[in-house]
A and B are shown apart, each in its own frame.
Chain A
Amino acid sequence: MEVEDLFKNYGDRVAVGGLNIQVKEGEIFGLIGPNGAGKTTALRVISTLLQITSGRVRVFGLDVDSEPDEVRKIISYLPEDAGAYKNLTGRKYLDFMSSFFASGKERESMLKKGIEITDLADRIDSKVETYSKGMTRRLLIARAVMTSPRLAILDEPTSGLDVINAKEIRDLVKKMSSEGMSILLSSHNMFEVEFLCDRVALINEGVIIEKGTPDELKSKYGVKNIEEVFTEVVG
């Protein structure tokens, strides 16, 4: 995925001001930055949700601006505070979502994979409205990755989850990446970023201010972890 000189304005306000990033195939790329830095806006633009003010975004050769329908076939986006249809059971929700990507046996195997990822056992047949936050997030992660997208865009994938649920999701993301899925994620959790990401970019006021592997960044700033890099750069 390539983002070249991406600008996104809301009226006179610049939310993203000249973003340049590349995510390689099978790579986990982390976008980190303070609140209001433009992370979610950037992810929404890449996910075809928001229109580009200027610049170019290409996902596996497809242009996000001119070929959004094609892009949506190979990506999956998990918003930070996403929800699922509460009147459906977990199984029916996954089945409904899989219907947009496949049919017949392929759809069945997609659903099976989704159910396995949720690890909800017999609760998969309970209505979503009865799920805890962790269960709902697992269901949504399963929805995002069961379709085997070439690029998964995850906005704060472990936001609001307890330690165990968050670890399970991090392990899942790592596994998906090892299977060849490219992942672009944003997070406030620096430990998570350091653990998961092959490369990270620090964004502030809509602009990338630092970029590299966690080790490169730590060495450059002579600090022990990414949290300190973040404090050095943004603070």
Chain B
Amino acid sequence: MSDIGGIIKKELRELLTLQSIIPIMVMALVFGSLGTSFSGMDQASQPPIVGLVDLDGGEYADIVTSTVLNNSDVIYQGISIEEGKQAVRDNNAGALLVIVDGFSSDITDNRSGQMEIYWYMKGTGIMETISLANVNVLMAEINTNLSRAIIADGSGLDANITLSPMVASDNTMVKDKEMDGVNPMVVSAVIDQQNIMMPILIMLVIVLIGGIVISSMGMEKENKTLETLLTLPISRTSIVAGKLIGAAVVGLIFGGIYMIGLGVYLQSFSASTSIDLSQYGLTLDALDYVVIGVMMFLTILSALAICMILGAFAKNYKSAQSLTLPVTLLAMIPMFVIMLSDFSNLSIEFQVLLFAIPFTHPMMAIENLMFDNWTLVIGGLAYNLAFSLATIYVAVRIFKSDVLLTGLGWTREKLRKRMRR
């Protein structure tokens, strides 16, 4: 038993190092804070926030109004659709409900009463879509109350009208775009099909090339080939550039293969929900594709340079594996956050955190370009350019320094001595 205990101790000492613990703690902290941040956005269990426009004023319209007032937080009540839309946008409400003129008389005449819903999507993330669900609950409540009133009146209307006295037509407002006759769930599904690809692809490419570069450095050290490489008549900048380009090519090939597979997989879900986003101006032109290409290039460059820096501290192939964790985390955090929520709906702290991670920018590039959010696109491009140049500079400096061969051992020793003093 004591032998086993010794082995367990040895294994724990080898596996539970600062290198392995810190990334896990950071991940737990980030997701913990993320949960707190999202909890503020969860409106599913709260009354929906809506605007109400009554263009009818009849007896059934009054039932709708009273149902809305009793079951939701009404931020606008009036007779102007435009004012109502503005109020909904200004208050980040879920929808504007419009009781169309003739609503009550249509029901009395044995026809469904018409309502219009102007859904407001604050973003295209999963959390924003979930927050629309409680408006659907309100619409169901309106229908129920209308049915009750019709039955109580004993007006002898058609059974179908009695059970579904109201018909609502959907219109969707996404940020500053409007899509008439389109349900927000359909919009969300179609945008997701396009937007989900990018974060997953970026994450995969980064993890792949990160692993390649860091492992390559680990292998150079383990196989004792690094010293020979560094005494060849080529500049350290060329060595760094050669390693970066080599890994980028492999990463792009692997990423391309994954993208094809993922594309086919996601295509299988898209057939039933397809709408043509281009008719609403939600499309990418040639310039947008160039921007995405440049963004991808800069991101890959940044990722490679980060990995090159981390790889410089790998002692061997095994330690190189654990060094890929920070890069994986940096790629996974923006991927999950962007899939769940729109950047603009995050708290300022999270926006700063995400902006600082260079991998965030290509992940949200498609959506930003679709919605002409050029501030974030150009900001992201500038940041990624600066970040990649800075990290490549640091990588070259490390390759020119002793750290590559001697590690940080003596630096740590020096720090410890200073701390003791």
The interface of chain A, by Cβ under 8 A from chain B, is 10-13, 44, 47-51, 69, 72-73, 75-79, 81-86, 97, 100-101, 140, 143
| Interface pair B231/A48, CB less than 8 Å apart | yes
CB 8 Å contact bits of B280-308 with A (1 = contact, 0 = none): 00000000000000000000000000000
Instruction: Give the number of chain B interface residues (Cβ < 8 Å).
Output: 20
Beyond the given pairs A11-B410, A47-B227, A83-B223, 17 more chain A to chain B contacts, judged by CB atoms under 8 angstroms and listed by A's residue number, are A10-B410, A11-B413, A12-B417, A44-B227, A49-B230, A50-B405, A51-B401, A69-B233, A72-B232, A73-B233, A79-B228, A81-B224, A82-B224, A82-B228, A85-B223, A100-B233, A140-B228
Q: How far is the CB of B221 from chain A (nearest CB, A)?
A: 10
Interchain residue pairs with CB less than 8 A apart (18): A10-B410, A11-B411, A12-B414, A44-B405, A48-B230, A49-B231, A49-B405, A51-B401, A72-B234, A75-B231, A77-B227, A77-B231, A79-B227, A81-B224, A82-B224, A86-B223, A97-B232, A100-B234
A76:B231 contact, CB within 8 angstroms: yes
CB distance A51 to B402 under 8 Å?
yes
Measured between alpha carbons, how far is A190 from B223 in the docked complex, in Å? Answer: 28
Q: CB within 8 A of A72: which of B231, B401, B405, B414?
A: B231
A159 to B82 alpha-carbon distance, docked (Å) = 86
Given A69-B233, A73-B233, A76-B231, does the pair A83, B401 have CB atoms closer than 8 Å?
Answer: no
Query: Chain A contacts of B227 at CB under 8 A?
Result: 44, 47, 49, 77, 79, 82
Complex CA gap A143/B224 in Å reads 14
How far, in Å, is B308 (CB) from chain A's closest CB? 18
CB neighbours of A77 from chain B (8 A): 227-228, 231
- Looking at the assembled complex, report how far the CB atom of A143 sits from the nearest CB atom of chain B, in whole angstroms: 7
Nearest residue (CB) in A for B222 is A83
Contacts of A79 in B (CB 8 A): 224, 227-228
Nearest Cβ distance between residue A139 and chain B, in whole angstroms?
A: 11
Whole-angstrom distance between the alpha carbons of A216 and B234 in the complex?
41
Chain A residues contacting B230 (CB-CB under 8 Å) are 48-49
Taking CB as reference atom, which chain B residue is nearest A41? B406
Assess whether B19 is interfacial by the CB under 8 Å rule.
no
Once bound together, how far apart are the Cα atoms of A61 and B414, in whole Å?
35
Q: Which residues of A contact B232 (CB under 8 A)?
A: 72, 97, 100
Interface assignment of B235: CB less than 8 Å from any CB of chain A: yes
Task: List chain A residues, Cβ under 8 A from B224.
Answer: 79, 81-83
Residue B46 is within 8 A (CB to CB) of chain A in the complex: no
Enumerate chain A residues within 8 angstroms of B235, measured Cβ to Cβ: 69
- Which B residues are CB-close (under 8 A) to A140? 228
Q: Is B225 an interface residue (CB 8 A)?
A: yes
For the complex, give the distance between the alpha carbons of A48 and B230 in Å.
Answer: 8
Partner of A82 from B225, B234, B411 at Cβ < 8 Å:
B225
Leading 7 A-B pairs by shortest Cβ distance:
A83-B224, A10-B410, A11-B410, A83-B223, A11-B414, A73-B233, A77-B231
A97 to B229 Cα, complex, angstroms: 9
Least distance between A51 CB and chain B CB atoms (Å): 6
Which residue of chain A is the closest to B225 with respect to CB atoms? A83
Give, as a whole number of angstroms, the nearest-CB distance from B218 to chain A: 13
CB distance from A223 to the nearest CB of B (A): 35
Distance in angstroms from A147 CB to nearest chain B CB is 9
Residue in chain B with minimal CB distance to A81: B224
Task: A86 to B401: give the CA distance in the assembly, Å.
Answer: 26
Complex interface bits, B213-246 against A, C-beta within 8 A gives 1, otherwise 0: 0000000000111011011111100000000000
Can you list, as one digit per residue, whether each of B387-415 has a CB less than 8 Å from chain A (1) or not (0)?
Answer: 00000000000000110011000110110
B224 closest partner in A (C-beta): A83
Q: Report the Cα distance A44→B411, complex, angstroms.
A: 19
**What is the CB-to-nearest-CB distance from A206 to chain B, in angstroms, rounded to a whole number?**
15
Question: Closest chain A residue to B414 by CB distance?
Answer: A11
Q: How far is the CB of B224 from chain A (nearest CB, A)?
A: 4
User: Which B350-403 residues have C-beta < 8 A from chain A?
Assistant: 401-402
A155 to chain B, nearest CB (A): 9
If A51-B402, A84-B225, A86-B223 touch, does A13 touch B410 (CB 8 Å cutoff)?
yes
Q: Chain A residues near B417 (CB, 8 Å)?
A: 12
A47 and B231 contacting across the interface, CB-CB below 8 Å: yes
A-contact bits for B130-146, CB 8 A (1 contact / 0 none): 00000000000000000
Alpha-carbon distance A50/B410, docked complex (angstroms): 14
Which A residue's beta carbon lies closest to that of B230? A49
Cα–Cα, bound, A85→B222 (Å): 11
- Nearest CB on A from B359, distance (A): 30
Q: Which residue of B lies closest to A140 (CB)?
A: B228
Give A49 to B229 CA distance when docked, in angstroms. Answer: 10
CB nearest neighbor in B for A82: B224
Q: Nearest chain B CB to A219's CB is how many angstroms away?
A: 37
CB of A41, distance to nearest CB on chain B (Å): 9
| CB pair B233 A101 closer than 8 Å | yes
Residues of B within 8 A of A82 (CB): 224-225, 227-228
Which positions 301-335 of chain B face chain A at CB distance < 8 Å? none
Most buried by B among A11, A75, A77: A11
Q: How far is the CB of A127 from chain B (nearest CB, A)?
A: 13
B210: min CB distance to chain A, Å: 21
In the assembled complex, the Cα of A73 lies from the Cα of B417 at a distance in Å of: 40
The docked-state distance in angstroms from the alpha carbon of A48 to that of B234 is: 12
Among A13, A50, A101, the most chain B Cβ lie within 10 Å of the Cβ of A50
Cα A11 to Cα B223 in complex, Å, equals: 27
